[in-house]
Amino acid sequence: MAVLMLPASAFAQRDAVSDLLAENAARERAESFLTEKGIAFERRSLLAERGGFGVSIHALIKPRLITEDSERITLVVAAPLGSIGKGARFGVEAALLFAERASRLGLPMDVRMALLADEAGELPADLRGEILLGSRDLADLYEDRERVAVVYLDLGDEARSPSIQHGAAGTLAPLGLLRPLTEAFAARGLVLPVAIPYNELYRLRLVAGPDPLAFLNGAGFQALLISNSALAERSRSSAPVSAEDFSAALYDFALSLSRSPAELDRRYTLFPLGFGIATIPEITSVALFLLAFAIGLAAILVYSITHRHLMIARGVVFLRRSWALGLFLAALFISLLSADFALSAAFRLFGAQAGGIGYGRAAVKLILALAAYLSFSPLLHRRPVPRRAHFYGAAAEIYFAAGVLVAAVIDFTFVPVFLWAFVLSVAVALIERPGIAFALATLAPLQIVGAAAAAAGSGDDRVALLLASNDPLLSLYLAFIILPFIFLFRRASALSVSRSGATHALRSRWARLLLLLGAALTAVVFAANETRAAAGAAEPVRVRLSETTGHGELAARMLRVTESDSPFLDRRSFVLKVEAEGRPSRIDLFLESGQPIPVYDSSVPFELSDDGLTASLRLSERPPQPLAVEFVLPRDLQAIVRARALYVRSPPSAPPRGDASDWALTVETNLEIGPGR
């Protein structure tokens, strides 16, 4: 263990320089540890294929007993060598200890330990280039990726309350990977919960998931990511997990991992129940669907034998009054549009156009929509809208039953969620006691509320964009989702209506008025706070120094580009040397010419424009100083090298950045190359 403990000073400062030093120190320590343990490893430079300046470390451990099992799965335990702002020491230590244990004790499968370089970027999103270069290099090693399971450790310098991220980019890690991992950690007394236990969010792409997991899943791997929970990162109240215990649990997981990819279920459902999470495999969802269908069909047949005339009469009455469903939907749709209009008007009171999109705005919009809908209720009752409780119960039952059937056709992942709501709607329709009916109606949307809360906790704002959007089509979609739950509450309300109708109507009128005023006041206060916060928020600052902006001399001093060339036959080999003031986050190089540029060879990857007149040399962040790049062009080709350095930390000669927190500087300069320059 001693050889693994990196110096604390290597992680003390969290800027690009110290992150780079920490990554280099981690790589050196990893190589020393693997050499000491007699584990063969490979250094994989990312420069030639990916334009990265880091070097990944891979160790491939073969099973002790070699068999011809074509179904054998490969396990990859990966960790970034470095990270921006939070370090990566724990993941490196845990991966190395796992590799040592696997090498010493053996496993019935191929195991690869991969310490990945150039995974993160520090530039703002609008300037960021390609990241996850180590993961992309890892993906290039495998063609049959369905047979490769990846566990990615993104835990910073300490593991505090680690959790599993199991979905991204519309895909899920298979149940045969998720369940053994949680069970292996639980067997050693380590809690490893699922961060977002709502597969529906991933299936509907309402949560993007971490970047490494999104890439690995999108590339076809079976991948999981283990990271610290956001709450643990902020509070640091929980005790850290030791790397030794963590690696031992990973080894137990590898022993229990299914060797056959055919056994890996991707259409399972996770069902949070408060005291834990129920895992429902796809076959169980199918069985539940068939059971519910059989019970429902049997109930209808039995009821039709004894109460055939009553069932037909009620069915006819329901069909005659079914036009009211469209009226309720229209009222809810108008309420959502009215809430959008009222919220925008509240922002205009304080000089803001519309305000930002977030979960706060979504919550205020729903409160306004509910208040508006309840205000419309008396207008609905001027028409002969049915008020009998069984009508609303039947409408909710039919709605959720249709949802179950649609889910069974589209994706069985959604079947248990609709079954939950359907069973509760049946219970609400059968129960005549208003208190119990209200309680069951409250439980029906619990999964949706929990999913929205989990999405908000993840920091992903896609659910907020859906809820707070002023798009009429999205408002109509929301109305379809909310309407059956309103039917459940209307049934419970109809059961509790007092016989003293006048007093009840008066109380309802005052209650609706107070709710509407309270919602309007909430919208105004929210708009005022958001406008004040937006006024105090710093705008992104982007500074550009180049000849076109009148800073040609300053840019040439800050970014110096020189070249040397040597002709050979019909070609000319160039060596560019780029020296930048300070430490730029990234250096971009472009070759431009008035004629097509055939690049015969290059020390870094490149891309040609569609017209062939521009060649872009692909380089990652954190370049060395000075930077040297070689390439070969036609001997007689004249071209211009356009160099660009991007900074997020101000170099000495840069203009003052002031108090800007989101600040970036771009310095550009040009150099002519070729004969006759």
Query: How do residues 506-535 score in pLDDT, each as one tens digit?
Result: 456 777 788 888 888 888 888 888 887 776
Tally of CB atoms within 10 A around 349? 12
Torsion of CA 406, 411, 412, 418, to 10 degrees: -40
Q: What's the pLDDT score for residue 618?
A: 87
Cβ-based neighbours of 561, under 8 Å, separated by 6 or more = 576, 577, 578, 579, 641, 643, 669, 671
Q: What's the pLDDT score for residue 44?
A: 94
Quote the distance between the C-alpha of residue 126 and its chain's center.
18
CA gap 300, 492 in Å, rounded: 24
User: 2-121+128-266 belongs to which homologous superfamily?
Assistant: Zn peptidases (3.40.630.10)
Q: What's the pLDDT score for residue 498?
A: 44
Cβ-based neighbours of 9, under 8 Å, separated by 6 or more = none
Give me the percent of the chain exceeding a pLDDT of 90: 27
Q: Are 189 and 256 in contact (CB under 8 A)?
A: no
CA gap 88, 24 in Å, rounded: 12
Q: What's the pLDDT score for residue 628?
A: 93
Q: What's the pLDDT score for residue 568?
A: 86
Q: Which residues of the chain have pLDDT under 70?
A: 1-21, 65-71, 84-87, 229-238, 258-264, 274-275, 310, 313-314, 317, 352-356, 378, 380-387, 497-508, 535-538, 676-677
Residue that is written with structure tokens 């990196």 in the block:
6
- Architecture field, domain 542-673: Sandwich (2.60)
Query: Which residue type, as a one-letter code, is found at position 448?
Result: I
Tally of CB atoms within 10 A around 92? 29
Cβ-based neighbours of 292, under 8 Å, separated by 6 or more = 404, 419, 422, 423
Q: What's the pLDDT score for residue 258?
A: 63
CA gap 305, 486 in Å, rounded: 32
Omega within 30 of 0 (cis) for the link into 386:
no
Helix axes 389-410, 415-430, angle to 10 degrees: 160
CA gap 584, 123 in Å, rounded: 10
Q: What's the pLDDT score for residue 260?
A: 54
Residue that is written with structure tokens 């999104």 in the block:
214
Q: What's the pLDDT score for residue 8?
A: 38
* Strand spans (E) along 327-388: none
Task: Give me the residue spans of the domains in the chain.
Answer: 2-121+128-266, 324-531, 542-673
